[in-house]
């Protein structure tokens, strides 16, 4: 005579079935209207690269502005006879 299964065994089997169904359903819901461009990571890297380039240009302009202000202040200070 075969041994009977306990309620815990049945619960484990049902839980395994539900989790397998949920995994397949999640993939189906993610991929049912997906296009090839949805899986292309290049736009993400392009926007990050563009942001980096914008910040580099801003930093360069800030340094140029700071150098210009320092040059004007030194010129004004030298014109007034002040020593630095």
Q: Let me know: does 60 contact 66? Beta carbons within 8 Å.
A: no
Q: Let me know: does 48 contact 38? Beta carbons within 8 Å.
A: no
pLDDT digits (tens, 9 = 90+) for 22-51: 998 888 887 777 787 777 777 777 777 888
Confidence (pTM) = 0.41
Q: Let me know: does 84 contact 74? Beta carbons within 8 Å.
A: yes
pLDDT digits (tens, 9 = 90+) for 63-82: 999 999 999 998 888 887 66
Domain ranges of the chain: 1-34, 36-84
pLDDT for 45 equals: 74
């Amino acid at each position: 005579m075969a041994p009977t299964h306990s309620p815990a065994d049945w619960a484990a089997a049902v839980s395994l079935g539900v989790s397998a169904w949920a995994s397949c359903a999640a993939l189906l819901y993610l991929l049912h209207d997906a296009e090839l461009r949805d899986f292309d990571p290049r736009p993400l890297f392009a926007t990050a690269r563009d942001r980096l380039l914008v910040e580099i240009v801003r930093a360069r302009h800030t340094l140029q502005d700071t150098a210009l202000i320092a040059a004007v202040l030194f010129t004004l200070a030298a014109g007034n006879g002040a020593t630095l």
